[in-house]
């Protein structure tokens, strides 16, 4: 059943990416439908009887699911059609990934009751910072287009979408709103992992690559927010810190699972 739902979500995301920008109501409706179908697919696939499916594909798919939801909400307040052009193709691919890389089932019988909350907060943190990374890429493209010596009329489908985005100052405010939300969620994830490692995972905290990269990502986002507050960081500095923090976080969660499952062909570790 969930295979069909994943296919349906991918088709709807692809259709949403191809819709003309002036079809606002249709875009909103198709996005909401795709998001609902994708969510149903994730729920039926991730929550197996007595276990939880863990893998880089399901995590990445869940991250894009939350990202689409964040886009849909924010698009009701701001004109973010350019973000749609970037998010929807990625969401389409992410909806199909669990079909190719199903991951493995982690039994929950011996896990703490807090483990599910830890995983949920971690996925929300990663997802929020994923949409922030998309946002940062759009801002970089928007700034490059504004500072180009010659800007051709239209400029292709992406150029037209960039021209429809809000002003850079508004985009920057929205970016830092997302980063603050993601940073709070990431802080809760790191804190719970450090303080309650024994209860959550049944073992003392191990400073493996996943934990090191997660902590490094937290430090990068903390430095960015501190620099923003104390020194007024913005523009290229903010974008570089955002993308560096996201790349480090991706290595911690999705990257580590990808290496284990695809490169090393290992299950849950």
Domain-embedded: residue 269: no
230, two tokens: 């104390």
Residue 112 neighbours by CB distance under 10 Å: 15
Domain-embedded: residue 74: yes
Domain-embedded: residue 153: yes
- pLDDT 10s digits, 43-52: 888 776 666 7
Domain-embedded: residue 268: no
pLDDT at 144: 81
Domain-embedded: residue 230: yes
Give the range among 8-12, 79-83, 85-89 with minimum mean pLDDT.
79-83
Domain-embedded: residue 94: yes
* Helix, strand, coil percentages for the chain (3-state, nearest 5): 75, 5, 20
> Phi first, then psi: what are they for 53, rounded to 5°?
-75, 125
- pLDDT 10s digits, 215-268: 898 999 999 999 988 888 888 888 889 989 888 888 776 655 555 455 445 544
Domain-embedded: residue 91: yes
CA proximity to 127, closest of 59, 52, 199:
59
On the CB side of 125, how many CA atoms lie within 13 Å of its CA? 26
Q: Which domain holds residue 13?
A: 2-263
d(C-alpha 218, C-alpha 39), whole Å: 28
* Maximal C-alpha separation, the chain: 62
pLDDT at 264: 46
Domain-embedded: residue 222: yes
Q: How many domains does the chain have?
A: 1
Task: With beta carbons less than 8 A apart as the criterion, state whether 180 and 226 touch.
Answer: no
């Amino acid at each position: 059943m969930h295979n069909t739902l994943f296919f349906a979500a991918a088709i709807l995301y692809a259709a949403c990416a191809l819709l003309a920008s002036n079809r606002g109501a249709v875009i909103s409706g198709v996005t909401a439908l795709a998001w609902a179908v994708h969510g149903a697919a994730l729920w039926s696939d991730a929550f197996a009887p007595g276990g939880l499916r863990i893998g880089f594909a399901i995590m990445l798919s869940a991250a894009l699911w939350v990202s689409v939801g964040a886009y849909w909400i924010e698009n009701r307040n701001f004109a973010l059609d350019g973000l749609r052009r970037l998010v929807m193709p990625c969401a389409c691919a992410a909806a199909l990934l669990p079909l190719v890389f199903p991951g493995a089932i982690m039994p929950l019988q011996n896990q703490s009751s807090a483990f599910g909350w830890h995983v949920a907060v971690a996925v929300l943190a990663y997802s929020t910072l994923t949409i922030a990374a998309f946002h940062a890429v759009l801002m970089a493209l928007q700034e490059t287009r504004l500072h180009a010596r010659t800007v051709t009329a239209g400029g292709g489908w992406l150029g037209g979408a960039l021209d429809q985005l809000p002003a850079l100052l508004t985009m920057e405010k929205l970016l830092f709103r997302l980063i603050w939300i993601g940073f709070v969620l990431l802080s809760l994830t790191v804190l719970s992992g450090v303080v309650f490692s024994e209860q959550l995972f049944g073992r003392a905290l191990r400073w493996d690559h996943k934990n090191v990269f997660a902590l490094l990502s937290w430090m990068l986002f903390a430095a960015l927010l501190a620099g923003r507050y104390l020194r007024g960081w913005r523009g290229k500095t903010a974008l570089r810190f955002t993308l560096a923090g996201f790349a480090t976080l991706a290595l911690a969660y999705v990257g580590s699972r990808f290496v284990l499952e695809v490169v090393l062909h290992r299950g849950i570790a």
